[in-house]
Structure formats: structure tokens, C-alpha cells
Structure 1
Amino acid sequence: MHFSALTWLFLFLLFHVSHSDPRISEAALFCGTNITKTSNYVPTFVREMENLSQVITTTHFATYHVNLSTTNNHTRNSSSSSSIYALTQCHHDLSQTDCLLCYAAARTTVPRCLPSLSARIFLDGCFLRYDSYKFYKEYVSPALDNVTCSKENVSFANYENENEFLTSVGYAVGNVTRRAVRTGSGGFGTAEVEGVYALAQCWESVGQDGCRRCLEKAGKGVRGCGLKREGRSLNTGCYLRYSNKKFFNDDGPDEDSHVSGLGITIAISLATAAFIMVFLFAAYASYTRIKKMKEERNNLAQFAIPMKNSCLSFKYESLEKATDYFSASKKLGQGGAGSVYVGTLPNGKSVAVKRLIFNTRQWVDEFFNEVNLISKIQHKNLVKLLGCSIEGPESLLVYEYVPNKSLDQFLFENNKTKLLNWEKRLKIIIGIAEGLAYLHGGSEKRIIHRDIKSSNILLDEDFTPKIADFGLARNFAADKSHLSTGVAGTLGYMAPEYLVRGQLTEKADVYSFGVLVLEIVCGRRNNLYSQDHISPLQTVWTLYRLNNLMEAVDSSLKEEFHVEEANKVLQIGLLCTQAEVALRPSMAQVVWMLTSKNCEIPIPHQPPFMSTNVTKPEGSTRSHNTNSFIANAARKMELSYTSTESSSMPSSDGHSKSGELIRK
């Protein structure tokens, strides 16, 4: 089966088998500090998760372990330190289908802790833990137990005073604890007292006494949240949560899962299959690249015939003269796709000429995209393609000339940063948003850019932004929910679902836009994969949680900016970079939020690729820093594929940039 078909089937089964809520929001991820040096640990870990998937198919609780040295012999009673032990527990108000969906989400997220020997992930509907020892009967731990409280205080519109809310929390927590303990092993209970909702779930392995002790500690923990609208106790043997909004199901699990048992098994199995197929697809792509290079050369020859008589066609000789025969003095920049020159046509009009050399299929693809996809699209925030020439020794693309060159030069070069005051930065952000909104739904074609970044944003004489370089853009049919495609773009700007699974939607552009917004406001490059530098995304998220966003604003602005506007723009940037695709706004919504004076900005959730210890305030339990592992993985990916700068058009700064990832 083709990789894209596998991915589609997996996503369909995973996200459409139930109409209810599997509660896959991440409450916390804790990574252990001990790192494995065993070479076969990762494949053994994958086997462990796969075996656990089979057990959890028909129940809400499962344990399993595999031996590192003999991965084909799974003895349940072994306690060897060379084993991987795993436990998963779904909350009992979830249907079996939602339980499977929640476990699949946990299983997808917990590998962020690798190569750590242990990890625990709490989602709001389930729990997953793996470790190097048999921990199943542990119910409390001074080192591991944790309490999280929401940042927002409860609104007292429904309460006479603070004491009434605190009393309701106390009663709800007490009631839910008693109900859970009474149910015995795997204790579960829900309660509602005067608008306060609570849920308690113990792991089946801790027994009734362990459940009671765990929930007693958990209850004391969440009561310490005071007037916060939500609190969670994330203990070794149980989970307890209260909220002023209802979050659990009344009727318990609904066993009508809306899909056959075979379909459920396929959905869970494909989680592993899709992971493995990513690597197989890379090999397949290499094979097809060689095969199709010949086809693309033939296509180019056929394409030349109608282009000779097209209004988009320029004579090679005229463009050669316009650029003074591609003189070095006319050169605007150099990129992986070719060189860019400024030229003057016989009528006196200035143009930018991009000089391409077709030596791989990638550049053929870019040429076809530039000409066929955007030649008829016009918007004040998009660079206009004027035409092309394919008759000479190399192919040329002709664009309108944008005199102020690219945004990255103004953001990151000290002698130009001072030219970007707050008003210009806000104008640039709004303009980029309007351009993307037009691409996504304002024109006859629905287009995803795929490479939004500061070097692909050009500025005219009035600092009006223009989105450039559509070589990687894709036409997106109106009846499609997503495209399954090779990954292309720049590391640090690519959305997680696109980088990992090749799942392309408009929300991939939204994510890139969010990263760019944070760069513009902070005045710093997003350098997510560097081990010695905290990215703007990490910085802004941390300061947001500390309610100190203004500290993230570029110091070169010298406090000459509108505080409320800056706060709103940074929060919108975080909304766009949320890990969960469905939570990101559309670009049309972003434009409305940026331009509306009285709109309420939603609360953002945690971005992806985020180390737990930079997102928690001081005093909370710290987890192992996973950034170095992610950085290593990113570098390996970058070395495995073609690393290039696909965009210097039409006004690159001339510098070679790293981090470009192209997979076709």
C-alpha cells in the first residue's frame, strides 16, 4: 500500500471512529534523567508499545514488559532490570474507542522522552508510563507526584464569595475520593457540588488501599490550588482533577464504538506502521526521484512550445541585457535555487530576475509551480510573477522588483533593526496574515505556501510586506481535508504534523506564520534546534505562563510600543504555534483578531518540541531536557536529505542559510 494511503487510513480510523471526546489534551509529560546506552532500546521500546496496544484493545487498563536481550520472549513475571515495563490506564467514563484514541495520542507523544529510560505522560483521559523496573504497585512518590493549577482564577459571578468556591471544591474532592475508593481496584468516581466538577481515577494495579492513600494525597494537593478554576494531582498511582466546567461523561463508557473491532486494531497498529513507513518512504522517494527526472525533462520540452506565444514569455536576450549580462553589480542575492539580479526593461521598469539551473527534479518542480500556480494570482501582499524565459542556457523567472529586500535583513542586522518601529512591525504582521488568508481561501485557487519565513517576506518602499518564493507551494482542492506529501521547507518553521507525518493543510502555514510573528516581535531568529540557545517560541511560552509577556518584546524598540497590542500579537503567535492542529486558528480568523479592537483572544495551549522544564515555573517537578534529543534528530534528518536554501527570490541577503529541508 502506498505511504499516503496508509497515512490517510490511519488518520481516518484514528480521528473519525467516535463522535465523543477522548480528552487527549496533555496535562503533563515527565521524562526521567537516566539515559539508555543500549543500542536496541528504541526498537524494543516500539515493540513494547505495540504489545501494550494489543492488550488495551478490549480493556481500560493494561501492563506489559519486554526483555531487552530477548525481545521475542515476553514473560509477565520477570523482574529483570534489562526489561522495559509499561502501564496504561484510561479513565472509566471513556468509551473503549475513546480509550484507544487517548492511548494512541499518549503513545505518539511519549517518545519525546527517548532515549530516557523512564517517562510518564498524563492526558486528561488516560495515563501511560514506562520504566526500567516493575513499578505497577507504586501509588505515591515524593519525587514523582505533582500538582498543577490553572493560571486563571475562577470567576465569582456564580459564587457569593471566595469561601463558597473553596468549600465547594473541598466537598467535590472529598465526594469523588470516597466514591473512587468504594469501587475497589481501579477506583473511579465523578462528582458535582455547586458548580465544581471533580474526577478521580486510580490505576488498577495499586489496589483499594493504595487507591485511598494516593487520592488522599491528591486531594490535599489540589486544595492547595486555592481560587484557581482548575487543579490536577498527577500522582504515581492516581489522577484527580477538579474544574468549574464539566469535563467528564455522565453515562460512563459507551461501548458502541462506531467501528468494528478489526478497524480499531488496524488503527492502533498503523500508529507503529506509519512511524516505520516514514523511513521507508524516504527510500521510495529516492527511487522515484531518479525515475521521474527524465519525465520532467520531457515535460519541460513540451512546456516550451506554448510558452513561446504566451504573454508570460520573455526573451532570454532581453533579460540578459536588462541585468547587464548578469553583472555582479546587479546581483541581489544567491540561494540554493539560483541567483537573483535586478534588471531594467526597455520601458524603464525595474524587475527581479531569478536565474535557475535545472540539475535536479526539485528545481523543475519549483519552476512549474512558480509559473503555473501563481502567475494569475494578484494581491497587494504577494510578490507578482511577471513571466519567465526557458529558451536560453538556463531558465529565468521574472518578478516585480521590491526595493527594500527581505524582512530578515531588517530584523537581524544591527544597522537596520532600528528602522522597524512597532507600527511597521504590526503593519508587516497584518499584511503577511492578509496575504496568507488570500492564498488559503480568497482566490480561485486554494494554495499552501509551505515555506513562510522572514527571508521569504519582501518589503517595498513603504514597508508593505509581500510573500515571495512559491516554488514549494501546493494547490489544495476544496474537497480535500489534507494532502499527504513529501516534507519540504525550513526546520524550525515546519508544523509538527507536517514534519513527522507529511500531513499538509493550511494549518502548516499558520504554524509557520506564528513562528514568524514571534520573530518579528522579539527581534530574534527562531533557532529551535540549537542546544545553546533558547528559541523565541520557548521564551514567549515561558513568559506567557509567568504572565510577563512584555519582557519578550525586542529591546531595540525601547518600550516605544503599545503594550496591549504587543501582548495581543504575541498571544496570537502562540495560538498559531499550538501543537494540536485543530486548535490553531485559520488565517482569516488571525486577520480578524489582529484588526479587531474588541475581540477576545483564546487561551493558547503548549507548543510542540517543548522541554517540560522550560514550561514550568520554579518549584515544580522538573523533567529531563529533551531538546538535545530533538536537536540530534533534526540534524540527522537534515543530513539525510537535501539541505538547501530554496528561497532567495527576489532579494536574498546573499548569505547561505542552514536548516532547509527538502524531501520529494
Structure 2
Amino acid sequence: MHFLSSKFPFLKWVTTAVILLMSTASFCYAADPRIEEAAPMNCSLNRVSPTFIIPTFTRVMEFVSASVTDHGWGNSSTVTPNASMYALAQCYEDLPRQDCLLCYASSRTKLPRCLPGIAGRMFLDGCFLRYDNYSFFNESTSAQDKSNCSSSLGGAAPPPNFATNAGSLIDNITAAAPARGGFATGNANGVYVLAQCWKTVSREGCRQCLAKARTEAKNCLPSVEGRALNAGCYLRYSTENFISDPNETDGGSSAVSKKGVKVAIALSVIAFVMISAFIAYTWRNKALKRKQERKNLGPLLGIYSKSNLNFKYEILEKATNYFDPSMKLGQGGAGSVYKGTLNDGRVVAVKRLFFNTRQWVDEFFNEVNLISGVEHRNLVKLLGCSIEGPESLLVYEFVPNKSLDQYIFDKNKILTWRERVHIVVGTAEGIAFLHGGTSIRIIHRDIKSSNVLLDENLSAKIADFGLARCFAPDKTHLSTGIAGTLGYMAPEYLVRGQLTEKADVYSFGVLVLEMVSGRKSNAFADDSGSLLQTVWRLYRTDRSFEIVDPSLEGDFNANEASKVVQVGLLCCQAIPALRPSMSEVVEMLTIEDREIPEPTQPPFINSSVLAGGSMSSIKSLVSNALNKQDGSSYTSTTDQSSSMQSTSDGLRSEEFRHH
């Protein structure tokens, strides 16, 4: 999870090696910098782009390091639109200067493992280091405060009356420290105590922090060692004498000690240089990729940067709390979707895209250029985009009630029959609008349950127009590459690449049958056949109502169910010309006395064939079925041995699912 160790494993090795060398140097030169971690490092799960936070971290730490070298502590801050940062480092005042520098060097080497998290804090037994995205300098306590108790220390038993004596000494030291500049130590009856407040905390804040620390430390008793690690202070007690003399000079080894400090500092510099080199390499790669992305986007940059469709990346980043995982609505192959709240209070869904290939640019262009001006109550509205940040973003209206597949295939969320009909009609109206409600004809190409979202009234909202295509009124069809999801793709499109509105009609028919049955199109993998085959068999024997989702427990209109099934089968006919238009489908579903033609048999391919077949074999089987059906009267006298319904494996990932 840490940025440096996950992205660059070699840096983890370098960091470990440097720390070991520093530790070795400290022992060789009679130093005791107390670089043991008092508690595991605390890193924020909220993350921002490394492009912004790493240079900010480096810049802030330059000032902190200089101050620690001169004074034993330091704080610094920088505020930018992309990554604000506040940092504090402090050695405990009993630590000699050379040990302080060794301790700080150790913490400074370890803490970058929290990046690109927005915050991190580290307590070593000799020093403290923290950074955050807000000013915490006057903070005395926080929700991240913790204590660390040790039940034993080298196997030694605690002295007699240890708990009483330790508690009394803790009370005395924590009471004295605020009046002594925030630092006090003491020992009595085999107990040693150290209390330290940070230099940025007021005297009253120090008193409050140590009061809390006193309670936390005393709760560790009768453990022989305990630490309280708070936002504004540090408290430790132990039966071992861990307290240093800040004035000790190591006698005749002072020159050696100075040499040890120099070695440790040199090692820290080497580690910092190596880390910086890897960071620079990362930035360069990101810059090259971004340059290629801008080249692919081409005229989009000029068109949208000045339009009302353009959103600043920083605004969307802030709206999603810097893409906080808790704001994540869904994950797909091309990106993730996050819930966000804009400055004007609007709640939106932000799709975060990661690709810069030519194919991705085509899909992005469709979403923005083709759909941005299309408005209908059953279509998810695209509000705009951001194309100049670290990654490109799409901004949609927020649809709160998840995607349809999470209702019809989850038996814990039962849709009533009336709700299902309402959703079927809304979806049909949305597709009909795409096909003929605007000046251009738009084919969605990926109609499926996961691309139908539900608003607060459980009304359908069609989403994800990355594969959409448009063509002029005088065109009969488009010849295009195959894209979509197996099981929803019309047979003529799958085999011949011929795209018309009737491809969406076929996909809608499959969706209708899934809605009625409450089962996925690949749910019938046994001898009974696929979904289409099963529905067709029941329809031919006037038992359409038997396909209705059993979870409804019979609470539905049987005649209406038969009508909806009949419409679904009409949409799934093998020959495109026999399928109704979506405007006709809307009439069939909404006009009570509208005549509904008898459907002909859908194309079948056995589900067991699909389970082990390749795409080429599937195409061959469908092609043979189509050729046979195109040359015949296509009567429905017998069941065929296979069904076009496929597995749930898609050629395209589901990208816009609300969780």
C-alpha cells in the first residue's frame, strides 16, 4: 500500500539497507539515538496524485531538516492548490545532538513510505516526525492518539510495589513538564519516566495532552513499560533506564561519535538522492504519457477548455475528497467512479479514466462530444469533463439507487412487478429517444443491466456511452469493429459487424427477459438450455408466466407478464428486419390494445458449446444459423439445439456501476 515500496521495490531495499547501516554506525560509535519505533507508523488512507504531493513533501522537509540540525526541532508548511502540507519534527530533549540527528535521519528515511497519502506520523523512542494536509501545530490530542504497553522487558520482573511507585512518578512528571518548557524526566524506586510536549503546543495544550497521556500510560500498569503517543506530546515509563544525558560527550570517543554522525548523515543523503532520482524518473514517464495523451486528444483540448463543459481538475479532486476510497461508487476496466459534491452543493458522479490509447480517446470523444447535448429523463446526463489534469475525468449527474443488475440478480433487493414494468418502459423510452429523438441517430451498442441505473424513484437511466455510434439518416447500417458484451450482442453484428438500431433492440430484448425472470442470460447452463431457449419453449406452450421471477411469489399480472415476454422475444428475433423499432416497442408496452405480432424463433447456440468455444467458433455457429434462417420461411415448429445467449464474459468491462 505504500507508494515507494509498491511502485519501486528497489527503494524498499535501499531504505532498509540505509537504516541498518545507520543502526550499525550508531552502535559502533557508542551512540544511542533510540530509533526503535514506539508504535507502527500511522499513514492516511486518503491519497492524492504523487505528481503533486512528493515535490511538496520534499520542499517542506528541506526546511524542517535544516531546523532540526540547528535546534533539535523544526516545523514548516506550504500551501498550494494541489497539495498543501504542514510538517513537524522534534527530538526529545534528553537526547544528545548527534543522537538527535541520527534519530531524525531514521524517521526521515522511513516516513516517505506513507506517500502519496495526505498524512503520516511516526513516533520513535528518540524523536517524532509528522506531516499532514492541515495545520496541526497547536493540536494537543486527536482521534489517532494511542498507547503502547509492554508486558515484559527482557524477562525481568517488576520491582516491588511497581504499579504504585510508577503511577506516583508519572503523576509528578506530567504535572511538572508544562512548567518546564514541556519536558521533564525522573526516576525513583527502579522506575524511569520521560514526558515531552512539542514546541508548537501551548502550555495549556501541553497540560491537556499530558493529562490524557498520564491516563493512557497508567492504564498500562502493571506492565513494566508503557508509552502514550498523542498529537501534542509523548510519555514513556519503563523499568529500564532509557533516559539519556543531553550533555554527555562520550569521553575520548567524541571524535568517533562525530564521525558516526557524519556517516549517518551521509547515508541519509545517499538514500534521499536515490529516492529523488526514482521520483524524477517517475515524473518524466508521467510527463511523456501525458504528452502522448494530449496529442491523442488533439482538438478536444481547445474545444472544451473554454466551454461550459470544462471542469477544473482541482475542483473535482476536492469534490471527491481527493478520490477518497470511501467515495468510490464503482470500478471498471477503464476507470473508477466516485461520488463528489461541488462547491455549489450539486452531487455528481466523477468517472476517473486511466488510459491514453487511441481507442480510449475515441470512447472519451463519444461520451463528451456525442452525448453532452442529449437530454432525456431516461438517460444519465453528462455534465462535463476535465482533460488537463493528471488523468481525464467525466462528470455525470449522480444517480443514487445503484445499477439494475444489483436489483434483479440480488434476492435481497426484490423489485415488484410494477417496478419492473416501469423500468422496462423507461429503458425502452430512453433507447427510442437515442434512435430517433434527436437530429442524429445514436446506437448505444452496450445495452445491459449494469448500464441501466436507477434514480430515487427507481426510474431507469441509461449510462455509459463510450461505445455509442451515430450515423446519418440515409445510411442503412455501419460496418464497424465488434464491441459490446457477449450475450447481449445481436447475431448479425457479432458475425458480420453490421451495426443498426436493431442491435440495441436485440440487447433490450435480452434485458427484458432477464428483468422478467430475475435470472442472468447464462443461468440455464444445464440440459434445459439457455435463457432464450427456455423462454421460447415456455412461450410456445402458452406458459410464459412460468418464467416470471419466483421471488415475486405470484404477485404479478399473468396476462401482462405474457405480453412483456412476447415483446422481449420479438426484440430477440434472429433476422433484424423482423424486430420492431424501439418506438414500436414503447407503443406495445404502453398502449393497452396495441396489436403485438407473434415472434419467430430466436437464434440458438447451445450453452455448453459456448462454455468451451472460442470467439471464432461462436461466430461460425451463429453464421450458419443465420444463413439457414435467412433462406427459409423461419417457422417455429421445432426447438433448435442451441441458443445465442452466451456466458457473462464481456468484451467490455462494466465501468459505471453504483454501489
User: With structure 1 as the length reference, what TM-score do the two structures score?
Assistant: 0.49
Larger Rg: 2
Higher relative contact order (CA 8 A, sep 6+): 1
